[in-house]
């Protein structure tokens, strides 16, 4: 990368290969940041190849991305037929007939600087408290089909409602494309046939399209999906396979008619060789059956999905094949892989769109000049590995902590060897209810606690300072917290009412 004057080291051109959710999210964010800063952004995509077209549930952090773009939330929801998401309900995961919610936001109310759930644990262990979800505003609101945004209500739980979205993936990509194009991103339709490397340093110089056109850039973002056309095929960066920990490697996806008002949560139901999602949108319901091809064949998996829909299917089911895992490097030379090209950990906790957004944020923090300092690249890769490894552990937790032994798949999951980092977390929680997180882990203490408890891991003990509170006082305060939460949920409008008032899709459209 020599030969440039010291005064002109800035990246002048970025090429984004791929126009799925990752490509357009990246294009929109970069367009917003780089508009009028002398850096051109071009995106190449191939309609003939298409996108995976799934990815319709998010986690609350997506609001940071929307804020970066300056989106109007109601407009975004109207345009993408979106609904609100207060958490994920897990059905039949711990054992058949069981159900719990990984709900967003506060659980109970912390007392004397100790997390509420430690008090709950004491009462639960003594047989005096119901399920943890009974003390969680988002879990109760989800069950009752209620939703509203936070209001300024002082100490009330209604001042702190944490939520994410469900949306139509195709409409979302279209929405972001419009945003990006309005801010100067140039879109080129075409299939990339070849990637040209600089023979001296191995950096990517250009991509050649089937049309014969060649497009050069300083920085290349690989958003070409599972294939990883630039990072994998051209630069030869390998892939770490995690199927021994996350054995699901296929999914059938199909939309169906809604069977009533959309509920404000994703439902995940465990199946004999995987699980099924249900994602309610304004105009339809998204469904998918994620399964392990080692334990179930495609035909059986497809039938199982079609037999378990709330309404009539609206399309032919689509089969998606993937390998759970991650790239050995996410940024190599002048190429950064974002989206499925960087890895995929299956959709159980809706983390992929978040990973796209955190990759964009990390890239902006460590944004290179044309010298591509190796220290920045190493740091980017270190942070990304850490983030993905910890999310992987959280996902594995759902599979390994189960009493289910009614199929070969579940027998495999409950006896598989676990990563040391996960074993430590489970071990410590089991002992005294503590969750030890290292800085920068995506899922917070409450998420870990909700899933551990939901999956049947009940600690033997709780924070010792809980005993400082006299038993009668604790019982009274628990009852008061429960009553405040119940009354708050009662005061919330129905989810469908909230949508109708704020962000309903235009009626003239389908």
Judge contact between 48 and 85, C-beta under 8 A. Answer: no
Q: How far is the CB of 298 from ligand FAD (least distance, A)?
A: 14
Number of residues binding to ligand FAD, judged by CB under 6 A = 37
What DSSP element (H or E) covers 90?
strand 87-91
Q: How many CB atoms lie within 10 A of CB 28?
A: 26
In the three-class reduction of DSSP (H, G, I as helix; E, B as strand; rest coil), residue 227 is classed as helix
Tokens matching residue 10: 């800035």
Q: How far is the CB of 288 from ligand FAD (least distance, A)?
A: 5
- Window of 20-28, 196-204, 299-307, 396-404 that interacts with ligand FAD by CB under 6 A: 20-28
Indicate which single residue of 35, 50, 244, 500 sits in contact with ligand FAD (rule: CB under 6 A): 50
Indicate which single residue of 16, 340, 435, 442 sits in contact with ligand FAD (rule: CB under 6 A): 340
Tell me the CA distances in angstroms from 432 to 109, 425, 459, one per residue in order: 20, 11, 6
Which residues ranging from 159 to 198 are in contact with ligand FAD (CB under 6 A)? 191-192
In the three-class reduction of DSSP (H, G, I as helix; E, B as strand; rest coil), residue 500 is classed as helix
Using rule CB under 6 A, residue 49 touches ligand FAD: yes
CA distance 28 to 30: 6
Tokens matching residue 272: 């004999």
Which residues ranging from 203 to 232 are in contact with ligand FAD (CB under 6 A)? 223-225, 227, 229
- Window of 47-55, 123-131, 442-450, 497-505 that interacts with ligand FAD by CB under 6 A: 47-55
- Window of 53-61, 94-102, 419-427, 466-474 that interacts with ligand FAD by CB under 6 A: 53-61
Cβ closest to ligand FAD, residue 266 vs residue 455: 266
Using rule CB under 6 A, residue 57 touches ligand FAD: yes
Q: How far is the CB of 321 from ligand FAD (least distance, A)?
A: 9
Longest dimension (CA), the chain: 79
Using rule CB under 6 A, residue 324 touches ligand FAD: no
Cβ closest to ligand FAD, residue 56 vs residue 168: 56
Using rule CB under 6 A, residue 23 touches ligand FAD: yes
For the chain, the straight-line distance linking the first and the last C-alpha, in angstroms and rounded, comes to 52
Tokens matching residue 253: 């996806």
DSSP string, 279-323: EE-SS-EEEEEEE-TTTS-HHHHHHHHHHT-SS-BSS--EEEE--
Burial 355-366 (b: 16+ CB within 10 A, else e): bbbbbbebbeeb
Q: How far is the CB of 224 from ligand FAD (least distance, A)?
A: 4
Half-sphere exposure for 204 (CA within 13 Å, toward CB) = 33
187 - beta bridge partners? Answer: 43
Indicate which single residue of 14, 15, 16, 21 sits in contact with ligand FAD (rule: CB under 6 A): 21
Tell me the CA distances in angstroms from 158 to 60, 149, 485, 495, one per residue in order: 16, 8, 9, 15
Cβ closest to ligand FAD, residue 147 vs residue 322: 322
Name the nearest CA neighbour of 45 among 15, 18, 16.
18
401 - beta bridge partners? Answer: none
Using rule CB under 6 A, residue 235 touches ligand FAD: no
Cβ closest to ligand FAD, residue 133 vs residue 343: 343
Q: How far is the CB of 193 from ligand FAD (least distance, A)?
A: 7
Site string for ligand FAD, 261-300 (x = CB under 6 A): ---------------------------x------------
What is the DSSP code (8-state) at residue 192? E
The footprint of ligand FAD (CB under 6 A) covers: 18-23, 44-46, 49-52, 54-58, 191-192, 223-225, 227, 229, 251, 253, 288, 320, 322, 339-341, 347, 350, 352-353
């Amino acid at each position: 990368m020599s030969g440039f004057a010291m005064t002109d080291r800035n990246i002048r051109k970025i090429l984004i290969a791929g126009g799925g959710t990752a490509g357009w999210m990246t294009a929109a964010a970069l367009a917003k940041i780089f508009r009028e800063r002398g850096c051109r952004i071009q995106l190449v995509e191939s309609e003939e190849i298409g996108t995976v077209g799934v990815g319709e549930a998010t986690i609350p952090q997506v609001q940071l991305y929307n804020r970066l773009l300056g989106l109007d939330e109601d407009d975004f929801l109207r345009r993408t037929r979106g609904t609100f998401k207060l958490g994920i309900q897990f059905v039949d995961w711990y054992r058949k007939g069981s159900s719990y919610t990984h709900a967003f936001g506060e659980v109970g109310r912390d007392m004397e600087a100790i997390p509420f759930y430690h008090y709950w644990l004491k009462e639960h262990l003594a047989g005096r408290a119901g399920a943890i979800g009974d003390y969680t505003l988002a879990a109760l609101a989800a069950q009752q089909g209620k939703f509203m945004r936070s209001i300024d209500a002082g100490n009330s739980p209604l001042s702190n409602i944490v939520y994410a979205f469900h949306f139509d993936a195709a409409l979302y990509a279209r929405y972001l494309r419009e945003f990006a194009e309005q801010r100067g991103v140039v879109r080129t339709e075409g299939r990339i046939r070849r990637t040209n490397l600089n023979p001296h340093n191995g950096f990517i110089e250009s991509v050649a399209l089937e049309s014969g056109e060649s497009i050069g850039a300083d920085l290349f973002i690989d958003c070409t999906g599972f294939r990883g056309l630039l990072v994998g095929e051209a630069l030869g960066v390998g892939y770490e396979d995690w199927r021994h920990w996350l054995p699901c490697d296929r999914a059938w996806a199909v939309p169906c008619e809604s069977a009533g008002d959309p509920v404000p949560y994703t439902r995940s139901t465990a199946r004999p060789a995987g699980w099924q999602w249900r994602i309610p949108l304004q105009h339809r319901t998204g469904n998918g059956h994620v399964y392990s091809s080692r334990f179930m064949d495609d035909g059986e998996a497809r039938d199982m999905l079609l037999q378990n829909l709330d309404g009539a299917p609206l399309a032919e089911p689509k089969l998606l094949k993937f390998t759970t895992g991650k790239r050995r490097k996410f940024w190599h030379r002048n190429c950064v892989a974002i989206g499925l090209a960087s890895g995929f950990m299956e959709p159980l906790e809706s983390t992929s769109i978040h990973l796209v957004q955190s990759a964009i944020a990390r890239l902006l923090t460590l944004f290179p000049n044309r010298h591509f300092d190796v220290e920045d690249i190493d740091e980017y890769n270190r942070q990304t590995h850490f983030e993905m490894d910890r999310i992987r552990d959280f996902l594995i937790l759902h599979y390994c902590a189960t009493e289910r032994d009614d199929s070969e798949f579940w027998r495999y999951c409950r006896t598989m060897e676990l990563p040391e980092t996960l074993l430590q977390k489970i071990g410590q929680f089991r002992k005294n209810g503590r969750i030890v997180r290292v800085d920068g882990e995506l899922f917070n203490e409450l998420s870990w606690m909700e899933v551990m408890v939901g999956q049947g891991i009940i600690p033997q003990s709780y924070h010792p300072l809980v005993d400082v509170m006299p038993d009668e006082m604790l019982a009274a305060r628990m009852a008061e917290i429960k009553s405040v939460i119940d009354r708050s949920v009662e005061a919330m409008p129905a989810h469908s009412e909230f949508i109708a008032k704020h962000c309903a899709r235009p009626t003239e459209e389908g």
